[in-house]
Amino acid sequence: MRTHLQATEGVRATFQGTVARFGTKPAYRGPDIPTVLLRDVRDASGQIVTEHVWMVQGKQLQALCLQEGDMVAFDARVTSYIKGYRGRREDVYKPVEVDYRLSNPTRVRKVPESEEGKAHG
């Protein structure tokens, strides 16, 4: 569980992370939804709040034409979600637990390489 994010649940704050890779997740209908994995996600003070977080690539993230290794800054709200297997099969063991994510990113921007060193403090 992401304890640093748990402490700020419901709060909208500024974060930044490094693009590690891209992926997709299945949609209920239609084509797969593009996602991005951010590593070493930090808050405005430079403290790491989570090792990694997957986010949906919305229009703002896609417009930046990101590549692996790019640093991204954005504002987002910390929200909780339930993860784990909630079905009836007994041969699957993934316990249900509450975890935390960054939702509704806004003011998404690429951090220039000249500022990346300053960001880590």
**Nearest one of 39, 36, 40 to 65, comparing CA atoms:** 36
- Which are the contacts of 89, defined by CB distance < 8 A and separation ≥ 6? none
Q: What is the pTM of this model?
A: 0.83
**How do residues 79-102 score in pLDDT, each as one tens digit?**
999 988 888 888 877 888 999 999
* Distance in angstroms (rounded) separating the CA atoms of residues 75 and 103: 9
**How do residues 24-34 score in pLDDT, each as one tens digit?**
999 999 999 99
Mean pLDDT score across all residues of the chain:
89
**Nearest one of 51, 55, 63 to 102, comparing CA atoms:** 55
- Which are the contacts of 11, defined by CB distance < 8 A and separation ≥ 6? 77, 78
The identity of residue 16, as a single letter, is Q
pLDDT mean over 99-117: 85
* Distance in angstroms (rounded) separating the CA atoms of residues 70 and 14: 17
Q: Which residues pair with 18 in a beta bridge?
A: 39, 71
Bigger pLDDT: 120 vs 46: 46
Domains assigned to the chain = 3-106 (2.40.50)
pLDDT value of position 76: 95
pLDDT value of position 13: 94
Q: How confident is the model at residue 12 (pLDDT cuts 50, 70, 90)?
A: very high
35, 61 contact by CB (below 8 A):
no
Asked if residue 116 has pLDDT above 70, the reply is no
